[in-house]
Chains A and B, each alone.
Chain A
Amino acid sequence: MLLAGQKSTHRIPTDKIFKVAATVAGVYVLAVIVLIVFQLYSESHLVWEREGLDFITGSEWNAVEGREAFGAAPYIMGTLVTAALAMSMGVPISIGIAMFISQAPKFIAGPLSIVIDLLAAVPSIIYGFWGLLVFREFLLYNIEYPLHDMFGNSVWLFSSAPFGLDIFSASIILAIMIIPTVSAVSREIMGAVPHMQKEAAYMLGATKWEMFKLAIFPYAKTGLIGAAILGLGRAVGETMAVTMLIGNATGPNAFPQTLFQPGQTMSSIIANEFIEASPASLHLPALIGIGFTLLLVAVAINIVAHLLVSRMLKVKEGVINA
């Protein structure tokens, strides 16, 4: 006679297989990260060996055989400068939007949030295409030329002749692109401030602005800084729109000195030169090395941002990635 228990020992242990499969899928992401770091390092170690620290600090860039020199400093600086400029323009606007949404009545706040989220869904290439054909001209004639004419001789930032494809226009496109991310996270963070805090401020007779100053900003400071850094991370990794608008200078000329000068970022030089680089030369390892540097910078920024934001937003973790 067959007992129920006996029968079950002959069954395939499907639950175990299920758990193992799920765990493997979960661990996949860790394996991919390790592989990416390993691959990028091992494929670029030739250039690290040859150039050493000059790869980070040098600014000569020459792929011609025999005269090879690879210094990525202008591109690293280009990335940092454009991202910082984008942050300085985009973050205050984003926080303003978050303040508006947290105060506005529901029938305005709801649709507005959707519109802002749609801004996030527009792909980078379309921002770039629009920036190149529409926004560039607007910027050139309405902002860059007037600034250059007025301050060109006195302020070094505006001294080079504007052309529209420069660090300034790339930064503005980046600022537009990080607004949805930063404002969505800031909105959630301001929503996480306890109502009691706001009511206490109102009870003391505070105006709306004073309520923000007294109750929300001090409480949400960490989270808002995290949101800003998250935007910085996005801006650092952004490729296509920047590639189309930054002017793609190479070598020492690409080192950012003025606002209206063509530059180059880490991601844009990869997008521009990767296909033409021959795997046999040092050119490809150099580009992969830049990719590796970019990855390290972006990951460091994002880890800091996640730690700051998640401390504030234990409740709604998913939102950070929306």
Chain B
Amino acid sequence: MMLSSAQKRAEYRSLFKHNVKGRLVIDRIAMGIVLGCVVIAIIPLGSILLEVFRNGISALSIEFLTQIPGAVGSGRGGIGPAIQGTIIMIGMSSMIGIPIGVMSGIFLAEFGDNRLGRTVRFFNDVFMEFPSIVLGIFAFLTIVLLLGHFSLWAGAFALSLIMFPIIARTTEESLKLVPLTYREAGLALGLRQWVVTFRIVLAAAKNGMVTGILLAVARISGETAPLVMTVLGSSQFFSGFDSPMDALPLRIWRLSLLPYDSAQQQGWGAACVLIMIILAINVGVRYYFATKNSAKGRLFYRIMGGRKK
């Protein structure tokens, strides 16, 4: 009896050992696959950055950044109008998109706790996922057909449609982080609600809002699809808000359609400028927040604040 039970126990133990071994092997394999997934995802990013900088840096020169494009295939000229167009369009769409986005975020955070607010929030999220080319068609139908020609206005309008829902949601999120007591303190002092919102709540939520706005700017500066049918592209410098204009992503697209090596070279140069703008915004925002939100950062600001007094 004892013997058989001891035998059984030994048998179980060996079974258990065998089982553990197998399970550990499966675990190792699974974790290896997981690590493989990470590597697979990192390779394209590394390759994109490497190729863009390796091929792009050599194309950069003062002439390339400031001149109008030369004759097709000549390899001369530059992307001056494209850079100018991208900057002007960012400015114009910010002028439309930021006020609407911020006000919409204020609505969602301060007055949005009801049925209308929930509807707006939901459709805001859905609108954010609208294909950007559809927004381009919409801008084409409403503005290009109305004015009768392709124009900067149409492009800026299309881009503002991409911009404002992003800003609205980030503004809402950062306004919600401001403690209710701040608002109550303001109201208790007899301030009106709009003064409280603009002078106290927005000031406290500034960082989050700036992040949202900058990320929205980074997003629209790379948008191509809605520009194809709104600003069309051109090879001249700015000549009025009513005329077609070039933009960096559009220029890259046009260059990619050309069969010449020199065009590819210029395309890499334009891609390099574009990616530097976008990565600078993204990395800058993240770095700023990493230092500001960490305990060390907060301590630093407290000390600096204390010294000023």
Contact between B103 and A25, CB atoms less than 8 A apart: yes
Contact between B225 and A240, CB atoms less than 8 A apart: yes
Residue from B126, B129, B224, B229 with most neighbouring chain A CB atoms (10 Å) = B129
Residue from A125, A318, A321 with most neighbouring chain B CB atoms (10 Å) = A125
Contact between B116 and A288, CB atoms less than 8 A apart: no
A selection of 8 A-B contacts at a CB cut-off of 8 Å is A14-B192, A118-B45, A123-B274, A126-B52, A208-B27, A244-B256, A298-B131, A321-B125
**Considering only CB atoms, which chain A residue lies closest to B281 in the complex?**
A121
Contact between A99 and B161, CB atoms less than 8 A apart: no
A280 at interface by CB-CB < 8 Å: no
Contact between B52 and A100, CB atoms less than 8 A apart: no
Bound complex: CA of A96 vs CA of B45, how far in Å? 17
Partner of A25, one of B41, B42, B52, B107: B107
Contact between A270 and B137, CB atoms less than 8 A apart: yes
Residues of A within 8 A of B264 (CB): 133
With contact pairs A43-B141, A125-B222 given, residues A118 and B274 touching in the complex (Cβ less than 8 Å)? no
Residues of B within 8 A of A121 (CB): 218-219, 278-279, 282
Bound complex: CA of A30 vs CA of B124, how far in Å? 8
Bound complex: CA of A306 vs CA of B133, how far in Å? 21
Bound complex: CA of A277 vs CA of B173, how far in Å? 43
Query: Of the 9-residue stretches A16-24, A54-62, A189-197, A219-227, which lies at the interface with chain B?
Result: A16-24
Q: Chain A interface secondary structure, helix, strand, loop or mixed?
A: helix
Residues of A within 8 A of B129 (CB): 230, 233-234, 237, 298-299, 302
With contact pairs A121-B279, A299-B126 given, residues A26 and B131 touching in the complex (Cβ less than 8 Å)? no
Number of interface residues, chain B, beta carbon within 8 A: 94
A27 at interface by CB-CB < 8 Å: yes
Task: Flag A139-168 by CB within 8 Å of B: 1 or 0 each.
Answer: 000000000000000000000000000000
Task: Flag B17-52 by CB within 8 Å of A: 1 or 0 each.
Answer: 000000110110011011111101110110110011
Residues of A within 8 A of B78 (CB): none
Partner of B169, one of A129, A240, A318: A318
Partner of B224, one of A19, A26, A179, A239: A239
Interface residues of A in 300-322 (CB under 8 A from B): 302-303, 306, 317-318, 320-321
Contact between B38 and A97, CB atoms less than 8 A apart: yes
Bound complex: CA of A18 vs CA of B111, how far in Å? 11
Residues of A within 8 A of B232 (CB): 275
Residue from B41, B100, B165, B256 with most neighbouring chain A CB atoms (10 Å) = B41
Number of interface residues, chain A, beta carbon within 8 A: 89
How near does chain B come to A12, taking the closest CB pair, in angstroms? 10
Contact between B130 and A237, CB atoms less than 8 A apart: yes
A249 at interface by CB-CB < 8 Å: no
**Considering only CB atoms, which chain A residue lies closest to B112 in the complex?**
A26
Bound complex: CA of A96 vs CA of B108, how far in Å? 35
Residues of A within 8 A of B256 (CB): 128-129, 132-133, 244
How near does chain B come to A267, taking the closest CB pair, in angstroms? 5
**Considering only CB atoms, which chain B residue lies closest to A36 in the complex?**
B138
